[in-house]
Structure 1
Amino acid sequence: MPRILLAEDDDSLRGFLARALERAGYEVVSCADGEEAQAVLDQDWDLLLTDIVMPGVDGIELARQAAARHPGLRIMFITGFAAVALAAGDQAPPGSKVLSKPIHLREIVSEVERMVAA
């Protein structure tokens, strides 16, 4: 079963995402922020799904650390800030995908399926 590390500071969105991905057949470990996700980065992951704007360690820094520890790790960002999404394209590890909120859960699940299958 593919493993997803989810870092999202919005409690309700994190819960919705985790449930949708679990129903789609993924094992999901949910973290409330980048610092919590850092604590489990050394485990084996198929995908990092992270918000970009979070207190403390943001999603870009989390992704850089994850990519350094796991070359080839698939990384997907979600953000509600269009300007952040545009800037993230320049700062994110190669091969990362950025999705802008609001986004339908089905669309996120479809994008995750594409990235994990790649």
Structure 2
Amino acid sequence: MIRILLAEDDRVMRDYLTRALERSGYAVAAVDRGTAAIPLLETQHFDLLLTDIVMPEMDGIELAQKAADLAPDLRVMFITGFAAVTLKAGKTMPQARVLSKPFHLRDLVLEVDRMFELERMSDNI
């Protein structure tokens, strides 16, 4: 099962995203800030870091950079409502995907599905 670490400071958004991803067959660990994600990255395996960019204490870009040191194979997807921040994320981590708010939950799940489509196909062979 593909494991996702979700870092989102807005509780309602975090709950919606968690439920949508779990209904789609993903295992999700959700935290309310980047600093809470670091201990999980140090002790558990995740396939995807899904993180808001603008958060207190540690923004999503800094979290993704630290995560890359801890788990080099970890994929990253940023979610944000700020266009300028999207540009910064793209320059800092060009391999990461960026999903701009507002988005439909279906669009999020489709993007995550696309990221892991080949792995799911090979698991079924």
1:43-79 CA-partner distances (Å, limit 9, x unpaired): 1001000000000011001101111111121100000
Q: Which structure: larger Rg?
A: 2
**Residues of 2 paired with 1:98 and 1:26: CA distance?**
19
How far does residue 116 in structure 1 lie from its aligned partner after superposition? 2.2
Which consecutive residues of structure 2, in runs of 5 or more, have no partner in the other structure?
A: 119-125
Q: Give 1:82's aligned residue.
A: 83
**Residues of 2 paired with 1:74 and 1:88: CA distance?**
14
1:16-56 CA-partner distances (Å, limit 9, x unpaired): 00000000000000000001111201210010000000000
**Residues of 2 paired with 1:63 and 1:111: CA distance?**
18
TM-score, structure 1 as length reference: 0.95
Q: Does residue 111 of structure 2 align to residue 111 of structure 1?
A: yes
> What stretches of structure 1 move > 6 A for 4+ residues in a row?
none
How far does residue 91 in structure 1 lie from its aligned partner after superposition? 1.2
**Could you tell me the percent identity over the aligned residues?**
60
Q: Does residue 27 of structure 2 align to residue 32 of structure 1?
A: no
Conserved 8 A contact 1:46-1:116:
no
Matches within 5 A, 1:60-75: 60-75=61-76
Q: Give 2:48's aligned residue.
A: 47
1:88-114 CA-partner distances (Å, limit 9, x unpaired): 11112x421011100110000000111
Which consecutive residues of structure 1, in runs of 5 or more, have no partner in the other structure?
A: none
- Paired AA for residue 109 in structure 1: V
**Residues of 2 paired with 1:71 and 1:39: CA distance?**
16
Q: Give 1:97's aligned residue.
A: 97
Moved more, 68-77 or 22-31: 68-77
TM-score, structure 2 as length reference: 0.90
Cα RMSD, aligned residues only: 1.0
Higher helix share: 2
